[in-house]
Amino acid sequence: MKENNLPFSVATDASNKGTTKCFPIVVRYFQSDEGIQHVLLDFYSDSNETSQAITDQLLAKLEMSGLDVKNMSAYAADNASVNYGKHNSVYQKLKQSQKDVLPANCLAHILHNATRYAARSLDLDAENAVLKVYSHFSIISKQNSKGVKEFCEWRTATCCGMLSPVRLRGNCAKIVWRCFGEERNEVSETYFLFLSHVLKVFSDTIEALEAKSFSITSFFKVKTELKQKLERRMKDRFFGFTVNSKLKQLPPCQSKKCEADFLSFYERAKKYISDRYDFSDTSFHSKVAKLGLTTAVPFEDYSAAVQACNLDIDMDGLYEEYAVVEGTISSPEMEGCHSGERYLKLFSKADVPLVNLRKVSAYIFSIPCSNAHTEHVFSMMTTAWRNERNRLDVDSVKAELQSLQDINRPRGSGDSEAMRGTSGTPPCPGDKALSWARDENILLLTSPGLPAFANGVGVDRKQMKVI
């Protein structure tokens, strides 16, 4: 990456391990022979969470690794004000060093928040009910773990440890009875069935955003399709087939109240997303979508999208190279390939270097659409830094995380030694119990019926590398 002077994005987040505040730094870039790459650049602890402290750490780690901040294409993090505030945020401070850096907000996080915002209009507080149920059964599972396992075996379900964003105490029975008492049973069930239906629409979108192969060229299409799904459901008053059937069985007054609540959910979710995302044809994402090579576009549109990226490109040379694209974009071997794969096939088959197209692809595919890979590092950290190994320090955990991610690294892939392990930390074999079999597909474990979240999505462990 350094040798080829490739553009890259930087992603970070913060998480606590006891009293230690940990920050991973994940770098994303695109190689014309291997595709999209995610690497764990560093893992450090810092009690100072101000925007200035985070910025200083990021710039220092990039300098230590020999990466030029001028090549940073985007900054990815959650949507906290410390990261993307208008005046005194990490992003604003990074712009002082690299004026063209893009704000790659975690777009999956926006969809999570949209469901929470929309669910507030419902007459039933489903989120509170689920958290209360969790609080009640988490105690039972600790006291009677054998019984829980036997129940899961009887139901042919996987017995997993229950996770919650907060710890709650309270009388579970009262709120559950209010939801499922005799007078509320049919209505409450209808609300939960509606949430089960609509949250799947959001979780499917989030799953697409967090896929390793997903790129910014597909983002406008995915978000537009989500908006259209909400609008279509509002127009047709469709809340799920089962829900629509149950509404016909309820008394008219209750049916109208439920229907009004469900329509309000659609409207609020759509408004939340529209306020935070530009759906116009002149938006950056709309223009970049034309660079995906999934459909044939005139060179005029392709060049306009390239100019929107502010790239230093020989446009005359790009015009000549685009003739190769037009000749292969509809070939049978391109069928079913996502944008990244199409560029890889194009480069592997071309008889000419395609220098300008390589610059375009390196830039657009370096921009992430979510912070999933950073969250994946925290999942790995939890596995490595468990209670029985609580005397590990941050440097030891960092070495183990980098070693674990390097297990499946293909050797001889063309990366220089300087790209691997710039910290000078020797590989750590780690604990044999920390096998990839335990860590595979771990990112988020949440309740499918809870508006605060969507279903868990895994990240392919084979795609995480170490610089």
Instruction: State residue 1's pLDDT score.
Output: 62
Cβ pair 457, 209 in contact under 8 A: no
Q: Would you list the domain boundaries of the chain?
A: 8-106+371-434, 111-214+216-276, 292-364
B/e letters for 289-327, b = 16+ CB within 10 Å, e = fewer, are bbbbbbeebeeeebbebbebbebebeeeebeebbebbee
Does position 336 have pLDDT exceeding 50, yes or no?
Answer: yes
pTM listed for this prediction: 0.76
Q: Give the HSE-up count for residue 159: Cα atoms under 13 Å, Cβ half-sphere.
A: 15
Q: Does domain 8-106+371-434 fall into CATH 3.50.40.10?
A: no
Query: For 364-404, what is each residue's pLDDT tens digit?
Result: 999 998 888 888 888 888 877 877 777 778 888 888 877 77
Instruction: State residue 73's pLDDT score.
Output: 95
**Beta bridge partners of residue 74, listed in sequence order:** 9, 102
Q: Residue 69: which of 5, 156, 125 has the closest Cα? A: 5
Q: pLDDT class for 301, splitting at 50, 70, 90?
A: very high
Q: In sequence order, what are the residues at sequence separation of 6 or more whose Cβ sits closer than 8 angstroms to the Cβ of residue 37?
A: 1, 28, 29, 30, 31, 463, 465
- Give the range among 126-130, 173-177, 321-325 with minimum mean pLDDT: 173-177
- Give the range among 46-50, 248-252, 299-303, 393-397 with minimum mean pLDDT: 393-397
CA–CA dist 210, 299 (Å, integer): 30
**Higher per-residue confidence, 335 vs 9:** 9
Instruction: Report the percent of the chain where pLDDT is more than 70.
Output: 75
Query: For 399-458, what is each residue's pLDDT tens digit?
Result: 887 777 665 444 434 343 333 334 333 333 333 333 333 333 322 223 333 333 333 333
Cβ pair 23, 46 in contact under 8 A: yes
Instruction: State residue 161's pLDDT score.
Output: 59
Q: pLDDT class for 350, splitting at 50, 70, 90?
A: confident
